[in-house]
Structure 1
């Protein structure tokens, strides 16, 4: 994934994941909310990094950098507050809605009142309406660039799946798309009046507000019907609801944001508008060079490049350096349960359990910067995600260093020997070192590895997510990574994509084709739970059942080191974007 994460886990940065509590020094100049300090208005925030957004259109944008950009110029019905406390930062609060919704007794109907004063920066400025939110949800299903997160909405909103299916048959032209949207309703979505939106679900979903907080669910003004979704014309005619507006966009080169004069602080409880201008300069592919610019003060924050591992030791204690806790499976070792290799040995749960004992997880953590920057994992759900359970650690070893003797014993008991596993790995970042470390651990257990150097862009599509290649045995084990799309009540974004095998198909992120009907049934109950606490119990149950089957070896959850220039103040980190929230920063 280079230096940006495609949300949902298809690609991952070198050091990533979100967090909350600052572990580095905060310093007097980095005043967080509640800590005092006088905000300063004005100035240019200089952001520098490598790659462009995947999509500028919020209906389809699906990278962390796009998420952080969306925070500046889009709004949603509900969102997350700005806070360096992880637990606070993942709690849903009202945004363009004046309050959290009224929810019916059966948990299936959500009614929102739109906040007065949330204005599009049209000429003249215009109040956002319930119809704009209806239009925004419809655009997720467009046939040109459908949302990568569409399953969150088709799986919850009444009639959304039928709407999506019908929309895919529409010609990919501006008139045809506009006509279909005008004539075709989503059964469960309606604007009762300009200020009242009603959404009906197919069944209870305790995480539905988290789904609505994703930038996908941004409203869309009627003007967007003039352009193909995320097309070149769209990218030059964005309309803002947030504190900033996109003044210019040059693909792969630069993005400039200026203050949005239509934005009113009184109508936005989560964002600020301190700097006059946000200048984003792209094309800098070296993390070391970006770090040098931040330390020299010629740039303020990184767009997508991590703090170089080589710089971390000397930055400890620097007031501009912080470490934020994470919640990820990054990386984890996955088994191809479909592989015909070795007489289908990996289909044998005893073999998978044995290999779980073999891996030295601390060694993996050291490759990524040590245990300060990485949390060693024992379960299928990382801390910070619903279903995490400290009691789920069936394959724990002393010091997480692995137990080759126990692995060899279990392999002998399983009656399996002379295994040679096909092991593709990405050639970028620290992935070769991770593969070599795992292969060395397997050797100690008497298991051979055929390491296959793989271009990063081929790792998923040509190996792990390819049904044909998986069934042919082109790979036996791999070390992908996974980051959830949100935190807290996020089993739909962690357990479902990785372990619900009921919908395994081409491109699936259930890479090993793990499919336990009993686990799937527990997942279904968790998704339809009437409360978050009920859902949490179900996700914990699923976590334990999954680890008993050992379809993966959980390795580490990466924390995130961050650095900013010495003139940045109020450096509040967003768990959802892995970046400092641009709308909170001021310059000193």
Structure 2
């Protein structure tokens, strides 16, 4: 099922390869070729800091791209400009992929044994080997009360004893590093065991065909014992990250910059997924203008964009010139989408009414949004929760409008039928980087046409997710009513779980949750359980599809676009290899020409 869905996005891949292949290595805008060159400083520029630096709670594409450079997981995926090459799992800190044939997976499908690659060290003084106990610590930190992982639901629903362990952790003082470490070190997760320094054993509640994918997520990176000294993801923690990857953070200025240097304890022969060619990675934040960032890349004063895609206005020019530094890379996702705060008390709790949410489905002009992000080569209208390229996707349009341009008259009529003939007043925070302000303004105009007044408020500095829409207090108090986040699946292929569960499982709602609007439907929760325990991927895909249909019937969100990523790098960057889950090039593979 997943393979069939992946073929639907092949048009983006063809365009990307066609653009990237022309003129490589020629002229002042050529792309360096030949073997990688070691040394130099990779200069990355952009707008906002990431919401979480701690791998336990890091949950954005920017965080994934950054943490991959210094925090390793058991399994991972390859960076590549061929989308299909980025999907298969590969061993990272594990020696191999467990199978029933090699004895790594038990006959009942519920026991996984993973052997660790030896020779991998922490950048401590002196360097210390990464052990199985460090991975156990990583799992234990997922449910910490200070900065819990938005992905903890994946593991609570899968691993033996994780639910009970997490329930107990909620009662611990979230402001005390000592109390947090004390709970972690005094309690075990039944389903996660360090058999010895080099062997991990996982025990599952039920067989899960995507369990190895869960072990590839940055949430599950090994955590050194030094992390017990700090409140997770606190300001103090962020100044004391420890590395087992090719780079280490040598300086961090909140909302200002990151400087990464080589990790002297890293050995290239122990790392099959990363390169580590440049001496230093300099990430400079605070540059909110995509146009200004693009200019720096083109003239060569910067090398890569941190969180800005290529500005819409520049795309036609770059395509006409067939500039080899420019490409359109596949990132199948739901980006952005409108989420409703179903728990907001504003407008007498109107957004908790399905009929109100259904009415507003007809407000959106998707053709205008497609123009904003770069045209039909960059984005296509999306009307389902699950995007193309993901397990359970099936094309559908439950709320059709003429020419994808919206139907404000129908929106007004349905709002009146739902008891709101005078419309609504909604609080609408938006991200300030990239084209998010333009998208918010377009949506505001669409809503106004059907009698809904949206009050826009900029939400910058990495606070949009962590301190606004993921805050249960702000959600409950009505600090926001609608928002336009984006969602790129945590992995591709057999990945139905990576969309429906984190965004819509009502049982996982709480601080740090990515079920931003607090949606909760027992039927959807039941379909999630059915998919997770399905006998094979085909049956699972069927349950994910049914869940998608039910969520759209409830109008929990308004899907907007399935977007590709228009991306650019400077003339001196070689080895630009794309990571779809990070929506950017792999910093560790890039190298610099003279």
CA distance in 2, matches of 1:267, 1:148: 30
CA distance in 2, matches of 1:246, 1:417: 53
Q: Which string of whole-angstrom CA distances, capped at 9 and with x for unpartnered residues, describes residues 165-205 of structure 1?
A: 33344455455444443332221111112211001122333
How far did residue 490 of structure 1 move? 3.3
User: Does 2:89 match 1:92?
Assistant: yes
RMSD: 3.7
Contact 1:20 1:573 in 2 (8 A): no
Alignment coverage as a number of residue pairs: 563
User: Does 2:398 match 1:401?
Assistant: no
How far did residue 567 of structure 1 move? 0.6
User: Does 2:329 match 1:293?
Assistant: no
Quote the residue 2:557 is aligned against. Answer: 552
Structure 1 gaps, min length 5: 1-18
Q: 1:156 aligns with which of 155, 158, 175?
A: 158
Q: 1:42 aligns with which of 19, 39, 57?
A: 39
Q: Which string of whole-angstrom CA distances, capped at 9 and with x for unpartnered residues, describes residues 272-297 of structure 1?
A: 12222223333434333322221121
How far did residue 208 of structure 1 move? 2.5
Change in Cα spacing, 1:251 to 1:497, as seen in structure 2 (3 Å) is closer
CA distance in 1, matches of 2:382, 2:270: 42
Contact 2:341 2:518 in 1 (8 A): yes
User: Does 2:68 match 1:71?
Assistant: yes
Q: 2:252 aligns with which of 249, 253, 269?
A: 249
Q: Provide the TM-score with structure 1 as the length reference.
A: 0.83
Change in Cα spacing, 1:300 to 1:520, as seen in structure 2 (3 Å) is same
Contact 2:153 2:502 in 1 (8 A): no
Equivalent residue runs for 1:272-421 within 5 Å = 272-316=275-319, 317-334=322-339, 355-357=360-362, 359-390=364-395, 392-397=396-401, 399-402=403-406, 418=421, 420-421=423-424
How far did residue 560 of structure 1 move? 1.4
Contact 1:78 1:96 in 2 (8 A): yes
User: Does 2:583 match 1:574?
Assistant: no
Contact 1:307 1:563 in 2 (8 A): yes
Quote the residue 1:542 is aligned against. Answer: 547
Change in Cα spacing, 1:373 to 1:227, as seen in structure 2 (3 Å) is same
Q: 1:121 aligns with which of 120, 123, 127?
A: 123
What secondary structure sits across from 2:272 in the alignment?
Answer: coil
Contact 1:29 1:569 in 2 (8 A): no
CA distance in 2, matches of 1:475, 1:255: 31
User: Does 2:492 match 1:487?
Assistant: yes
Change in Cα spacing, 1:30 to 1:486, as seen in structure 2 (3 Å) is farther
What secondary structure sits across from 2:20 in the alignment?
Answer: coil
Q: Which string of whole-angstrom CA distances, capped at 9 and with x for unpartnered residues, describes residues 300-332 of structure 1?
A: 112233333333332222111111223232333
Q: Which string of whole-angstrom CA distances, capped at 9 and with x for unpartnered residues, describes residues 22-45 of structure 1?
A: 3533446479xxx98322222222
CA distance in 2, matches of 1:229, 1:505: 17
Quote the residue 2:141 is aligned against. Answer: 139
CA distance in 1, matches of 2:376, 2:410: 24
User: Does 2:189 match 1:186?
Assistant: yes
Q: Which string of whole-angstrom CA distances, capped at 9 and with x for unpartnered residues, describes residues 214-261 of structure 1?
A: 222111233444444445665454432212233333444443333333
